[in-house]
Each structure stands twice: as structure tokens, then as C-alpha cells.
Structure 1
Amino acid sequence: MAGVAPQRGGSNASTIGMVVSIVVAAIMAGLSIWQFTNQESLRTAADQATAAKAKLAKGNDESVARQLVPDAGASGKSVIGELNRALQMASGRLSGNQNDPPAVALSKLDAALKKIVDAGKIDSPDKVSPALGAVGVIENLHELYAGEKDARQKAEAAQEKALADLKGALDRNEAIDKELRDQLAAINAKVEDLQNAKSEYEKTKSSEVEKLAAQIGEKRDELDAMRRDTASMRRKLIEELSHREALLDEQKAALASLRGPGAEGAQELAVARNPVGSILRALPGDSLVHIDLGRRDRVVLGLTFAVYSGVARVPSDGRGKGLIEVVSVGERTSECRVISVPSPDDPILEGDKVGNIVLSRDRSKKQRFVVIGRFDTDFDGTPDLRGADAVKALIRRFGGEIVDRVDASTDYVVLGTEPSPPEDTLSPGAAADDAGSAKTDESAATEISDDNSAESDDVSSDESADAGESSDESADSDDSGGDDVTGSEESSGDEAAEDKPTPTPAAPAVPTIVKSPEVDVTKDVRTRKAMSERELYDEAVRRAEKLSIPRLPLERFLNFVGLERGPIAVRQFEQ
């Protein structure tokens, strides 16, 4: 029994050891399982941490962040925490709110800078460019502000100085004003004294002034009565003169019929002294009159007329008592403006005559003019280079026709001053003539020679009759009974004498006829073309004399076309 007991104790120990081994193995297995499971969790956590870190920083972002926040890692400070604090501080400095994200803070900064630029107060927008950074922009703004402040301080100083100067000027002005007021008071006192003296003088002289006024009134009444008497006498004298001129015209017509053909033609200005129209309406003091000539009579705008008395003959020099210019043309009448006002004693009246030798009496024919010589159209005493052209242009504008040579169809010759002595060179005007005109001149010269012989015979045979007629005119003038009438009759006699042909000189015993040199028809065409300007002038005058064509100097021509020397004629020549 004793031997069995020890065997039972050894079995228990083995069993316990086995149990312990199993327990230890189980524990080890559990630990292994737990360790394996925990390792997987750690690996998963590590992967997650690596992914999270990749989201926060990549590559060298961490090293750059540590450079930006060098204090990170010390005293438990993390890099991200330091970066967050730095960003909050930067946002607070930029926008004033630390909670603003960096993008919002930057957008606010850009908006503020844009607002500054848009305001236009900055001379150079580059000074507030975002590229300069907030510090650079602030420094530039501070510089601008400092400059503006200095300028304002200087302006304020200048303003204070100007105000001080203005105050000084006001003080001086006040002193001057006070001095002027004192002087004005003294002047007013003197004026008052003078007015008092004037009143006293007027009181003492009032009676004398009244006497003088009464005397002046009496003299004015006497003068008015004298004017009325003079006007009445003048009308009577004009009527008497008109009657005597009519008698003279009848006697001249009778004498012309006794002389035969040629005597009336010798009165060169007979046609020129025949008015072409008359005044239809004229109001005293009105500058517009109406005439009985219109478009059918070849009247054009700007045409001028000389106005002559309706009861007196046209003077031999063609000068009218007034001048008028056409401003409106109708079919049968025209409205004219008075450009030269007549004397108050002889105003323009209804029934007065108007004349212009350029206006033809025959509506189907134009007046033909020859313009020869040199003309002073601006009346400065020196012939003008284009003076003849200006006269020709005036005649054409008034409706006349310009011809180059004098022949039987020429109506008037307008004479300028004589050209310089002939030269050996050919004249441009003569060189323009052709052989046909030379033949015409030869035939015309032959006719002129024959007419001149007959005309000279008539003049010689009728000299005594002309002398008797002049004696009759002088006797009629003496019968008028007044100096004015005598002067008018003598003037009329002179005009009639100008119209008659000038008698050729004759010896007391045997009358002889002195003929003017005839045109040399033997000259060939080349020789005639070589005539100088002076020779052309002399030839034109000689042919006009033979054909009894009126020869009008410039001033006389102007009178007969309703113009006069001076600005009126110059204005017409310049058109």
C-alpha cells in the first residue's frame, strides 16, 4: 500500500505540469493572436497617418513650413499650429479680421487697392500695384500723404500770407476811399456853387435870350419867305428857259433842214443827251425810286443812271443832279437806290429823266464802244495797267458791245490818256489785226474822205448862219431879265455850240477847207500791223472826228453812265 501511494503523487505532478504547459501554450497562443491583431491595427493606423500627412504636406512642404515657423517643435508647438497662428496674424493685418481666410483677406486688399486707383487721386497707379505687396503700397501711400501734407501746409502758409496782403490792400483801399469821398464832397460843393452862379447868370440873361429868340424867329420867317420866292422864281425861270430851248431846238431843226444832210449828224452828243427813261415814283426823303425801264429794255441789276431835271435839257458834260442804281428789275419797271443824293434845292421828283448811254434806245441793237488809251480807274493820279480792261468790263456788264476799231457803226469812243510816244516794236493790239480788217479800213477811209469833203463844204457855207444863230441866242438870253437866266442861257448856248461841228479856219477873203489827214490806204497789211499803240490811238481819234462819233474822256463817260469819280466808280470797276 505504501508503494502505491508514491505513484499517485507523480501522476498529479505530471498532470499539473501538463495543465500548466497547456495554459502557458494557450496564453502564448492568445498573446500571439493579440499581437498579430494589434500589429494589423497599427499598420492600418500608420497607413492612415501617412495618408493624412500626405494631405497636409507633400515633398519638402514640411521643411518649408518649418523654415516659415522656426519655433515649431519647441515647447510642444506644432508646425500646423504655428502656421495657423501666422496666417491668422497675416489675415488680421491685411483685412482687420483674423478669422478671414487668406484668399478673402487678399481679395479685400486687392479691392481696396483697385478702389484707390479708380478714384484717380494717384498720379501713377503702379505705386499701389498688388505686386509691390502691402508694405510697398503702404510706403508709397505714406510718401504721397507726406507730399500732400507738405503741399497743403505750404498752401495754407501762402493763403495766410495772401489774406494778410488782402487785409493790407483793404486797409489801403479804405484810406483811398475816404480820401476820394472827401475830394468828392469838395467837388460837389464847387459844383453847387457853379450851379448857383449859373442860375444867377441865366436869370440875368433870360430877357436877352428871349429877345434874340424873337429876332431869330423873325429872320427865319423872312428867310422862309425868301426861299419860297426864290423857288417860285426858279420854277418860272426854268419854264422860261425850257421854252427858249424849245424855240432854239426848232430853229436848229429848221437850220438843219436848210443845211441839208450831215448837220444833225455833226451834233455828236445829240443822242447821248437824249434821256432813255423817266422817274415814275419818288417820295421826298426816300432812298428808293422807280423808273419806267425794265427787263424788256435790257435793264440789269447794278445798272446805274444819271438823273436829270424833267424841265431842263441834259447838260453837255452829262452830269446829272443825282445818281441811282438798279436793285430790282421788273418786266417794264425797275426799282432803284439813290447812290448820290442831289441838292436839297433840286431833289429827285416824279417826271425827272434818267440816262445811260450804254443802254440802247433800240432794243434790238447794242451800243458799240471803242475804248482806247490808258485809264486811271482808282483815281490815284497814275494810269492803271488794266484800266482799259476795267472800263471794257463795265460797258459789257451794263449791256454794251466792245469793238476794236472805229467805223461807221461805232456809237462812242471812250478816250483815256495818250500812250507814250510810238516805238519801233510791234503793238500787240495791232499785231492781232488781219488782212480783212485792213480792207475794211481802206473802204471806210474812202467813204470818210468823201463824207468829210461834203461836210466841210457845208460847214464853210453855213458859217455865217451859225454866227447869226449864236447872235439870236444871245439876244434871247438878254431878254430874260435876270442874271441867273442869262447864265443858264449862256450855258445852253455853249452846249449847243459843242454839239455843232467846229468851223474850219478860213482866210478873211477866200474861205479854204482844211482837211484832217486821211488814213493812208496804201499801207500794206504788215505795215498796219506794226503800228504802235500811239499810232492806234491817234488813228482812232482821227477816224472818230471824221465820222462825228462822240469822243468821251473817262470823267465825261462816267457822267453819262450814271457814275462819278470816287468810291462809287471804283466799286463798279472792281466788280
Structure 2
Amino acid sequence: MARARSGGGSTGSIWGLVLFGAGFFISMILAIVFYTKVEAAEQAAEAAQSELNSVRNSADSNDPAYTALTAEGSGTAVRKLLNAVGERDTQIGVLQSDLGAQTNARNAAEAQLQTQTEATQKAQADLQQTVDAKDAQAKQLTAQVTALESTVSAISQENTNLKSLIDSSIEDVVDNYDAQINEWKKRTSDAQAEASASERTVIELRETIEVLRGKRPEDIPVTLADATVVAQIPDQNKIYLDIGRDANLRLGMAFQVYDAGDVVKIEDPQAEGKAVVEVININSNSAIARIVQRKPRAVVNDGDILVNVVYDPNRLYSFHVFGQFDLNYDGDLDENGNDKVRSLVTRFDGLISEELDYATDYLVLGIEPVLPDRPEDELDLIKMREFRTALENYQAYQDLISKARELGVPVLNQNRFLDLIGYFER
């Protein structure tokens, strides 16, 4: 029994030693593992510290995490570093999220840019197509312009040829016209010579008659012809005259037409013309006049003479105008009739004489005043003043007639004056 207990104690010791050895071995292994991990942690801490130093030196010296980390002891450095790393990871996550959003925005912008690029390319293609179309149209228009220029050139050449032909034709017509005018002038000259001879014969016979009647021939004033009709344009109611610009003829001048060979007595109211003509075209030695008035059944012929008592190509006549006139024959005296008659004289280069004297060529009188009756009531001052004014006008009118007779100045009343200047209502 005792031996058995002794043997059991040895076995427990052995197991105790084994257990102690196993525990020591395990403790050694754990210590080695621990020190290995500590060494790895220290190396990681040193690496983190190095990284922190690098970060501090580069850009993060003001980072609050870094400041907190370096402010405490090295015992908590690893934990703080891990916390800082965590915060860094968080920041990196945020930055990565922002980067992702920016990447998405960039991708969207790139997509939009791609869309705009495609639109631009399409617009450029459309523009190029339009430019090509415009170029084609421009070439077509250029061809049309070239064709038109060619046509215009041809028309211009044709116009030049026509102008040359017309000028040549006009020269021929003018030459023929001049030849006809010369022929008419010759015929007119011959007719005038015959008419002058006949006129002298008529004048001599009339002088003889007047002498037999007891009146001197020199007391009968006559006017000479100012122009002669050399040709007619019947369908246009126009005539050609043998005087022109060289004879001081002007547009608008009017003449009374008389038969060839007529002796036009200035003061004879019966010596009326048969037509009135107005000058409408003037050349150097010829003119064209239109017939503005014509007596019934009167005919204007070649060789007829034209008279205007004011007009003379060689001298200026002087006229004394007196009285009131009724130029429109309405029965009422014109308010400015005297001024109108004066203007008719000056229109044909006549002169106005304010006094009747030896230098006066003609006396033009208005409507003859009526000799007034003396008012029964001579105390009526208004009627007496009107009577004296009317009497003075009547007496002045008669005195001028007497003075003109004494001076040998022809007297023309309104009708005779208007007739001898070819007056007509314009």
C-alpha cells in the first residue's frame, strides 16, 4: 500500500515539471510574439511618425489632428496616429466622394461637349453646303451678268449706230429745211418786191385821194411789216417766219397777221388783222409760231405779213399810256389795267414815256371818260368832288388827244393797241 502512494507522487511531479516547461515554453513563445508585435508596432509608429513629419514639412503643419498628436506623449502616439489615420481615411473618403461627383460632372461636361462638338460639326457641314450653294449661285449670276454686259454692249453699239443714222438724217432734214427756207425766202423776197411795188402804187393812189380830200399824206401814220410767213404746217396750225434770234425775236411774242400787200394804218380801226400768232420756237434766222386766234373763214397764206406796233428789231419805240382799261371786256374798269398795258409795252422791248412830248412815238389811251353832268346840289361836297375828278379826267384825256395831234404822235385806243400787238387771253 505504501509503495503505491510513493509511486503516485513521482508521477505528479513529472507532470508538474512537464506542465511548467510547457507553460514556460508557451510564455516564451507569447513573449516572442508580443515583442515581435511591439517591434512591428514601433516600426509602424516610426513610419507613421516619419509620414507625419513629411506631412508636417509639406503642407499639414496647421492640421489640428497633427497638433493634437504631437502635443501629447509618445505613449499615446500610436493610438492618436491611428485616430488621425482614421480621420484621414474619412477625409480621403469624402475627397473620393467629391472626386467621384466631379468625375461624374466632368463626364457629363464631356458628354455635353461631345454633343456640342457634333452639333458644331453638323453646323459646319450645313454652312459648307450653304457656301457651296452660294458659290454656285454666284457663278450662275456672274454668268448672267456677263451675258447682260454683252447684251448691253450690243445695245449700246446699236444705239450708237442709230444715233449716227439719226444725226445723219437730221443733218439731211436740216439741209433740206435750209434749202426750202432759202427758196421760200427767195420767193417771199420776190413776192415782197411785187407787193412793195403794188403797195407803193396803192399808197400813191390813196395819197392822191387824200390830197383831193384836202388831207396831207404825211398825216396818215402807217406801220411796216415786221415779218413774213414763209411756210405753213397746216395739220399743226403753225407757220414759219423769216426772222429769228438775230432780229431780237423772243419766245412768247405775238403778231397780228395781215394779207400780203396790206397797208396797215395805225389809227384806222377798220384795218384789222385776220389772225394772231405767238412765237414758240426760235432759230437764228427763222422761227415757228402757232396760230392762237383766227377770224371766221380767214386763211393764213405764204407771204402774209406780221405786225406788232411795239416790236422793231432796229429801234425802241416810246409809249405814253394814260387812262383806265377794260382788258377782259367785262364792262368794268380794271383795277390795275394801266399797269398791265405798260407791262405789255415793255414785254416787246417798248419804252414807257411818263410825259407826252416829241420823243414819244405812240399815245395809248384807255376807255374814254364820260363828260359828267354838274350836280344840281352844289353844296353836296362829296358829289362836287366826284364831279371835279371826273371832269379833270375827261379834260386830261381830251387834252392829250389834242397835244398828240399837234406833235404828230399816233393815238391808239385800247382796242387798236391790243389789235396791233396781237394781244390775246393766255
Q: Which residue pairs with 2:31 in the alignment?
A: 25
Contact 1:328 1:335 in 2 (8 A): yes
Match of 2:279 among 323, 326, 346: 326
Larger-gyration structure (1/2): 2
Q: Which residue pairs with 1:271 in the alignment?
A: 222
The separation in 1 between residues aligned to 2:394 and 2:111, in whole angstroms, is 108
Contact 2:250 2:279 in 1 (8 A): yes
SS at match of 1:282: strand
Describe how 1:237-248 pairs up with structure 2 within 5 A: 245-246=202-203, 248=205
Q: Which residue pairs with 1:347 in the alignment?
A: 299
Q: Are residues 293 and 8 of structure 1, via their aligned partners in 2, closer, same or farther at CA, if it must alter by over 3 Å?
A: closer
The separation in 2 between residues aligned to 1:284 and 1:320, in whole angstroms, is 19
Q: Which residue pairs with 2:389 in the alignment?
A: none
Describe how 1:307-386 pairs up with structure 2 within 5 A: 307-314=257-264, 316-317=268-269, 318-344=271-297, 346-360=298-312, 363-386=313-336
The separation in 2 between residues aligned to 1:322 and 1:292, in whole angstroms, is 17
The separation in 2 between residues aligned to 1:334 and 1:368, in whole angstroms, is 26
Q: Which amino acid aligns with 1:413?
A: L
Identity %: 24
Q: Are residues 290 and 7 of structure 1, via their aligned partners in 2, closer, same or farther at CA, if it must alter by over 3 Å?
A: closer
Note the C-alpha offset of 1:53. 0.8
Q: Which residue pairs with 1:412 in the alignment?
A: 362
Bigger strand share: 2
TM-score normalised by L of structure 2: 0.52
Cα displacement string for residues 510-531 of structure 1 (whole angstroms, at most 9, x for unaligned residues): xxxxxxxxxxxxxxxxxxxxxx
Describe how 1:389-408 pairs up with structure 2 within 5 A: 389-408=339-358
How well do the aligned residues superpose, as a CA RMSD in angstroms?
Answer: 4.6
Describe how 1:123-162 pairs up with structure 2 within 5 A: none
Describe how 1:66-145 pairs up with structure 2 within 5 A: 104=112
Contact 2:222 2:263 in 1 (8 A): no
Cα displacement string for residues 61-113 of structure 1 (whole angstroms, at most 9, x for unaligned residues): xxxxxxxxxxxxxxxxxxx9xxx9xx9xxxxxxxxxxx9779959x99xx9xx
Note the C-alpha offset of 1:355. 0.9
Note the C-alpha offset of 1:374. 2.0
Q: Are residues 245 and 285 of structure 1, via their aligned partners in 2, closer, same or farther at CA, if it must alter by over 3 Å?
A: farther
Q: Which residue pairs with 1:465 in the alignment?
A: none
Q: Which residue pairs with 1:545 in the alignment?
A: 405
SS at match of 2:425: helix
Cα displacement string for residues 12-33 of structure 1 (whole angstroms, at most 9, x for unaligned residues): 6655443332222223334545
SS at match of 1:281: strand
Contact 1:405 1:540 in 2 (8 A): no
Cα displacement string for residues 423-469 of structure 1 (whole angstroms, at most 9, x for unaligned residues): xxxxxxxxxxxxxxxxxxxxxxxxxxxxxxxxxxxxxxxxxxxxxxx
Q: Are residues 336 and 414 of structure 1, via their aligned partners in 2, closer, same or farther at CA, if it must alter by over 3 Å?
A: same
Q: Are residues 355 and 391 of structure 1, via their aligned partners in 2, closer, same or farther at CA, if it must alter by over 3 Å?
A: same
SS at match of 1:357: coil
Cα displacement string for residues 34-72 of structure 1 (whole angstroms, at most 9, x for unaligned residues): 6775976785464133133146469xxxxxxxxxxxxxx
Q: Which amino acid aligns with 1:49?
A: T
Note the C-alpha offset of 1:548. 3.3
Query: Unaligned stretches of 5+ in structure 2?
Result: 1-5, 45-77, 120-197, 373-391
Q: Which residue pairs with 2:147 in the alignment?
A: none
The separation in 2 between residues aligned to 1:311 and 1:245, in whole angstroms, is 9
The separation in 2 between residues aligned to 1:35 and 1:539, in whole angstroms, is 161
The separation in 2 between residues aligned to 1:35 and 1:49, in whole angstroms, is 22
Cα displacement string for residues 445-497 of structure 1 (whole angstroms, at most 9, x for unaligned residues): xxxxxxxxxxxxxxxxxxxxxxxxxxxxxxxxxxxxxxxxxxxxxxxxxxxxx
TM-score normalised by L of structure 1: 0.40
The separation in 1 between residues aligned to 2:14 and 2:227, in whole angstroms, is 189
SS at match of 1:546: helix
Q: Which amino acid aligns with 1:338?
A: I
SS at match of 1:570: coil
Q: Which residue pairs with 2:3 in the alignment?
A: none
Q: Are residues 51 and 323 of structure 1, via their aligned partners in 2, closer, same or farther at CA, if it must alter by over 3 Å?
A: same
Match of 1:388 among 338, 344, 347: 338
- How many residues end up aligned between the 2 structures? 276
Q: Which amino acid aligns with 1:22?
A: M
